[in-house]
Amino acid sequence: MFPRSFLAAIQTVGALATIALAQTQTIQDNVKRGDTNFFDITLTVKGELRVQKDGKNASIPLAANARLQFSERVLELHQSLPNKVARHYELAKSRLAIDGQIIEKSLRDDRKITIAQRHNEQFLCYSPAGPMLREELEVASEHFDTLALTGLLPEQAVKVGDTWKIPNPVAQSLCQFEGLLTNELTGKLDEVKDGFADMTIRGKAQGIELGAMCKLEVTAKVRYELLPKRIVSLEWTQKDERDQGPVSPASSFETTTVLQRRAIAQPKELTDAALESVPKGFEPPLALTLVYQSDAKQRFDVALTREWRMVAQTENHLVFRLLERGDLVAQVALTAWTKAEAGKHLSADEFKQVIAETPGWQLEEILEAAEVPVENGRWLYRIVARGAMEDVKVVQNFYLLAAPSGEQLVATFTMKPNQVAKLGIRDLTLLGAIGFPPKK
């Protein structure tokens, strides 16, 4: 038989537990300008792409993982959430296995300081040191959005068992949607114990990303430390079902992100002096937001604005599509052509013959054929033609660009007739950003 004192102690503990369950908790992470945190993020992805091969539906398995460790200093706030931060990456690597091919990505040493910002519902990541390579941008901008992390917490005091709706802007940011359609993400306070509050986030969301419909189902665990009043860890698992879009195939995959967060003293890489070159406000110079891409054999490179999305890379071609508010405006295929002798290139008539023999292209009418003035001793010839590809009426702008060294490149811009005006002069802007690096 238990001593009475022990039974009394049990009753007391039980009463205290009941009181704790009934007590409300103010669970807020009051981020301030200048706060600096260290993040350790591990990402794993497993799923498949659904494509057409030889006229049949096919599934391509994919698997990916990434590890990121970085310090993050808050530069600006909007409605209690960071909307501009500076990051210094100590580690930033990813590895993708798809269809038997391994693709590894990382950051160059001089691009390990980046700026991440969200302004007018648009997310932007760039380096104040200069343009980033496409693979660098993918590593630094496509991981869990730490700017929205503290938005998962309840805005009002809650007690164990209470639930709250995740705000739409937070859901849109964490799901990485360009447009949010539905948001059913809900938070719940599960337990308060030993100085920590444990919460779960569950629900579904739908939105648009890169012009495609995306459906997500989220299950997440959040740990909050009561005394310092801050989120210290998160495990975020989401299942994605994505329709085919103008720049991406249909896909289904599951992603798990494990995040650890702790406050740190400001490192030397993120001091005011180190960030002196960071542009003020939310409109950095265009040159800092360009993305560099080289062809597979390093014969040419191009600096593109971010509205151009790469959709294919082969031994001889780079293919990009221009998206505007999720709609496809035009596609461009860049092809390294046979090098000529220095100071020479294909003639206009030879180029016209090449165009006429393009596979799958039915030429109906040449609307324009003329040389375009360019600088630096280059030669540029343009042919604008109307015709059909696979029975679809299109307009194509064909360009032959030749360098004084004899390097040649053919650029083919393809669009539907009603999109010609939307393309405007962006074809010439892209061609002006093409370089022919010297052979190593």
pLDDT for 267-302, tens place per residue? 999 999 999 999 999 999 999 999 999 998 999 999
Task: Name the token pair of 178.
Answer: 């360009």
| Residue indicated by tokens 């350790």 | 40
Cα distance between residue 147 and residue 172, in whole Å: 12
**Average pLDDT for 90-119:** 94
Cα distance between residue 94 and residue 245, in whole Å: 24
Q: Is the pLDDT of residue 9 over 60?
A: no
| C-alpha dihedral (16, 17, 20, 21), degrees to nearest 10 | -140
pLDDT at 138: 92
Q: Is the pLDDT of residue 321 over 50?
A: yes
Closest CA to 284 of 428, 160, 122: 122
Pairing between β-strand 291-294 and β-strand 132-133 as defined by DSSP bridges: parallel
**Could you give the residue ranges of the DSSP H alpha helices within 272-320?**
286-289
| C-beta pairs of 290-294 under 8 Å, 24+ apart in sequence | 290/131, 290/433, 291/131, 291/132, 291/133, 291/134, 291/137, 292/131, 292/132, 292/133, 292/134, 293/133, 293/134, 293/318, 294/437
pLDDT at 20: 47
| Residue indicated by tokens 């406050």 | 263
- Cα→Cα distances 308→3, 25, 248, 325, Å: 77, 47, 13, 12
| pLDDT bracket for residue 13 (50, 70, 90) | very low
- Is residue 195 within 8 A of residue 227, CB to CB? The reply is yes
Averaged pLDDT score across all residues of the chain? 91
Window from 4-8, 80-84, 92-96, 335-339 with minimum mean pLDDT: 4-8
Cα distance between residue 66 and residue 89, in whole Å: 13
- Is residue 432 within 8 A of residue 352, CB to CB? The reply is no
Residues ≥6 apart with Cβ < 8 Å to 149: 231, 234, 259, 261
| Residue indicated by tokens 């949607």 | 177
Closest CA to 329 of 241, 380, 397, 401: 397
Cα distance between residue 105 and residue 96, in whole Å: 9
Give Cα 413 distance to the centre of its chain. 24
| pLDDT bracket for residue 92 (50, 70, 90) | very high
Q: What is the DSSP letter of 77?
A: E
What domains sit in the chain, N to C, each tagged with a CATH number?
A: 36-270 (2.30.230), 290-435 (3.40.1000.10)
| pLDDT bracket for residue 22 (50, 70, 90) | low
Residues ≥6 apart with Cβ < 8 Å to 13: none
pLDDT at 358: 87
pLDDT at 359: 87
pLDDT at 10: 36
